[in-house]
Structure 1
Amino acid sequence: MYTNQYFFCPYPMNQDAYLSFNSSWRNITQKFASFSGTVTMIEDFYTGQNDSSMGCYKFMSLENVDMGIANFIISPETYFVNHAVIELGDKVTGFYDANAPIPLIYPPQYRAIVMSKNTESENVTVDYFNSELISSDGNLKLNIAPSTEVILTNDQIFNRYPGNRNLIVVYGSTTFSIPAQTTPYKIIVLC
């Protein structure tokens, strides 16, 4: 009885506009997500590979009063902002790929892309910034000054315009405008 039912739209549908909407929606979706908390555990993570990788991967557990617990897998590719050494009791923020599949376990477990030690004088965000240096969620606009350090993850100078890229941005205060504007101390380009 219900086997041959199809969705019917009584209004003409412009397929080009629909595809344009879908592609623009995908462009503004945030790729990175974060979790902030206090480090409660750091230990070696066994990857199941040969003995040469033993000790190269870490398992870090963060606890947050509001959101509970989250675990991060730290690999040799994980970037630590300011090359900070993280210890038990430090307040940190872990950034991960929001589009990556995660195991359905509690507490959640993420592969860390960037880790940052939280300080009162610096803010850190990881996001895609467009050609006008506005973040993918439209909440932050970067104003580059001559004093802004623009580098790669290996600390080499990046001598191109950093727009239309995934960036790690280290900055201080922001304006109260929409989007908030800031002049970053440092921009690390994720190539």
Structure 2
Amino acid sequence: MPNFSFVPLEGTIQNIRPFGDECCSSLVTLQTSEGTVTVVVSSDTYVISEVRLRRGMTVAAFYDAQVPVPLIYPPQYRAVILGRKQPNETITVDYFDETLTNNDNTLKLNVSPATDIVGSNGQPFRCSLADRLLIVYYTNATKSIPAQIVPRKIIVMC
């Protein structure tokens, strides 16, 4: 099992500006439910579906909790994954085991024939989802432990 922990930041884009002299990186200011945060979007950031970021767009950015962050205000995080978020939709990034349960045993996938399953390149993915890092889109979850979901979309990070 890989040793990582992705932390989500969900919010609305307030501003996008260049990150210093780095032509391939941007600082994206998000208004979250807890205040303002800045997210570094670099050439290493996986932007889901290569969506063009715009002010007013609601997004979910994920950073690696094991990577140090500067002690500045507003907080600044380096996004590993960033995606557009639809209303009432949740996006999660985690490693799922052979039972399709995530790392901390809080979420279990019940994949349906209607679930759109693609690789990180956007092409159909027809192999096992077990023991992989997945980006999962869903709207409803049961109140059981682990919560069970029927994903709308799964992106397999190959």
The interval holding the TM-score normalised by the smaller chain is 0.7 to 0.9
Listed as ranges, the gaps of 5+ residues in structure 2 are none
Match of 1:5 in 2: none
Matched, 1:35 2:9: yes
Q: Whose helix fraction is larger, Structure 1's or Structure 2's? A: 1
Matched, 1:72 2:72: no
Match of 2:136 in 1: 169
Separation of aligned partners in 1, 2:157 and 2:72 = 29
With the length of structure 2 as denominator, give the TM-score of the two structures.
0.86
Contact 1:165–1:189 (CA<8 Å) still a contact in 2? yes
Superposition deviation, residue 146 in structure 1: 2.1
Match of 2:147 in 1: 180
Deviations 1:165-191 (CA, angstroms, capped at 9, x unpaired): 211001221222221111112111123
- Larger relative contact order, structure 1 or 2 (CA cutoff 8 Å, min sep 6): 2
Other structure's SS at 1:184 match: coil
Match of 1:59 in 2: 27
Task: Give RMSD over aligned pairs.
Answer: 2.2
The answer to which of 68-77 and 83-92 deviates more is 83-92
Matched, 1:138 2:112: no
Sequence identity of aligned pairs in percent?
39
Matched, 1:88 2:64: no
4+ residue segments displaced more than 4 Å: 27-30
Contact 1:31–1:98 (CA<8 Å) still a contact in 2? yes
Listed as ranges, the gaps of 5+ residues in structure 1 are 1-26, 49-53
Superposition deviation, residue 120 in structure 1: 2.2
Separation of aligned partners in 2, 1:122 and 1:82 = 16
Higher-Rg structure is 1
With the length of structure 1 as denominator, give the TM-score of the two structures.
0.73
Contact 2:49–2:122 (CA<8 Å) still a contact in 1? no
**One-letter code of the match for 1:108?**
P
TM-aligned CA distance change 1:47 to 1:142, over 3 Å: farther
Contact 2:4–2:64 (CA<8 Å) still a contact in 1? no
Superposition deviation, residue 47 in structure 1: 5.1
Contact 1:30–1:136 (CA<8 Å) still a contact in 2? no
The answer to which of 93-102 and 77-86 deviates more is 77-86
Superposition deviation, residue 28 in structure 1: 9.4
Deviations 1:28-63 (CA, angstroms, capped at 9, x unpaired): 976100112221210122355xxxxx2x21110112
Other structure's SS at 1:57 match: strand
Contact 1:30–1:137 (CA<8 Å) still a contact in 2? no
